[in-house]
Amino acid sequence: MTDTAELPEAKPDESAAALDAADLLNMITGAWVSQITRAIAVLHIPDHIANGAETADDIARIESSDPRTTLRLMRAASSLGLLNYLGENRFGLTGRSQLLRSEIPGSLRAVAMIQTANAHWQCWAHIPEAVRQGHSQAEQALGMDLFTYFAQEENAEEAALFAQAMGELSGLIIQRAVATVDTSEVFTAVDVGGSNGDFVLGLMQANPALRGQVLDLPHAVEGARHEAKKRGMSERFTAVVGDFFATVPEADLYLLKMILHDWDDERCVQILRNCRAAVHPRGRALIVERVIGELGQPDFATLADMNMLSMTQGGMERDLHEFDTLFAASGWRRTDTRPVGGGYSLLTVESA
């Protein structure tokens, strides 16, 4: 057989093509990585390793899983940097798998699980048709829109996972946002569509005089009440069942964290108008969203925008000009913009 040293050198264009092919193959098989990550999270493998179970046999006994396929999963995870192979069929945690542990600060376990759960997975399968038609194909994939799907009793577990995942993402930004916001002259704040109420409760912790509310759908508010009770804030907090397209409670401050990206321009203007109509004099609103930057540059917000196309009826990520158009149409003007971590920005608006 010919020695490799005698093979002709690859031409530069051939080498570039090989690199492009390898990069493209990594993109094509990205779904494999997502599902391996999900399996690691679902089987609590990082939690078990943290508690001393280092081998696939140990974890298989705890999870009642097959030892051989458990080892195959952990082997694949170690090749991705999700686990650290220690030798002798023993595995340890890496920085990435630490973030897949349950109930630790900064955990992304629920995010990993919801992105690969039924609703998201089914909707993403229809992304070419969503582009052709100009709107989400969730109804084709799920038989209903996403929020109706989560409101169904049979999907309660997935809806709770979604709320937990949103809470995890919030954890990336709330601490910094709370440190940024001055509420010394704010007496009442409403977390519009606030789910578990992490944002308003964070502000209430920083300001013991602040009274807070969450306005959300029936299946979401119970989690907010539970969280407020857990933090010892029930006396200053209320969770209100309502429709932010119809009306919002009066307040000095409105919080809209990852809300506007769920809706089309017309519905966003309606939400913002309702807040503008109910806000107390000299009140304001804080909007936390991803902001699309310069076209053609690496930008996670543009990928998130495809997720919104896949999952929501008209939702999208926007650039600053698009946000300002929404604000002007609803009686607000943007007075400040600053990053708050996790790829998100905090937009402050006041009465125009």
- Averages of pLDDT over runs of 10 residues in the chain (352 residues) are 51 79 94 97 98 96 97 98 96 97 92 96 96 94 93 93 85 86 95 92 95 90 90 95 96 97 97 98 96 93 96 95 98 96 93 88
Give yes or no: residues 140 and 16 share one domain: no
User: How much is the pTM?
Assistant: 0.86
CA dihedral (192, 221, 119, 97) in degrees, to 10, reads 90
CATH number at residue 31: 1.10.10.10
Q: Helix 30-42 vs helix 67-79: angle between axes, to the nearest 10 degrees?
A: 130
C-alpha distance from residue 11 to each of 8, 245, 248 (Å): 9, 61, 65
Q: What are phi and psi of 288, to 5 degrees?
A: -110, 115
- Considering its fold, how many domains does the chain have in total? 2
Q: Which domain holds residue 122?
A: 118-351
SS3 336: strand
For residues 70 and 154, membership in a common domain is answered with no
Q: Tokens 């140990």 appear where?
A: 58
Same domain for 285 and 151, yes or no, is yes
The pLDDT value recorded for residue 342 is 81
Structural tokens at position 337 = 């913009």
Please indicate, yes or no, if residue 3 is contained in any of the structural domains: no
Same domain, 47 and 189: no
d(CA 236, CA 201): 10
- Report pLDDT for 346: 96
Do 223 and 268 lie in one domain? The reply is: yes
In a domain, 326, yes or no: yes
The answer to whether residue 284 sits within a structural domain is yes
Q: Which two tokens stand for residue 333?
A: 């003007």
Closest CA relative to residue 107, chosen from 165, 158, 163, 174: 165
What is the C-alpha to C-alpha distance for residues 271 and 349, in angstroms, rounded to an integer?
14
Pick left, alpha or beta for residue 37 (phi over 0 → left; psi -120 to 50 → alpha; otherwise beta). alpha
Q: Residue 221's CB: how many other CB atoms inside 10 A?
A: 22
Task: Identify the pLDDT of residue 12.
Answer: 61
The answer to whether residue 4 sits within a structural domain is no
Q: Are residues 281 and 315 in the same domain?
A: yes
Residues 135 and 219 in one domain: yes
Residues 127 and 168 in one domain: yes
Same domain for 129 and 90 = no
Q: Are residues 124 and 100 in the same domain?
A: no
Q: What CATH number is given to the structural domain containing 257?
A: 3.40.50.150
Contacts of the segment 78-87: beta carbons below 8 A, 24+ positions apart: 80/33, 80/36, 80/37, 82/36, 82/37, 82/40, 83/40, 83/45, 83/49, 86/54
The answer to the question of residue 234 being in a domain is yes
Query: Of 71, 104, 137, which marks where a domain is finished?
Result: 104
Identify whether 112 is part of a domain: no
Cβ neighbours of residue 267 under 8 Å, at least 6 residues apart? 245, 314
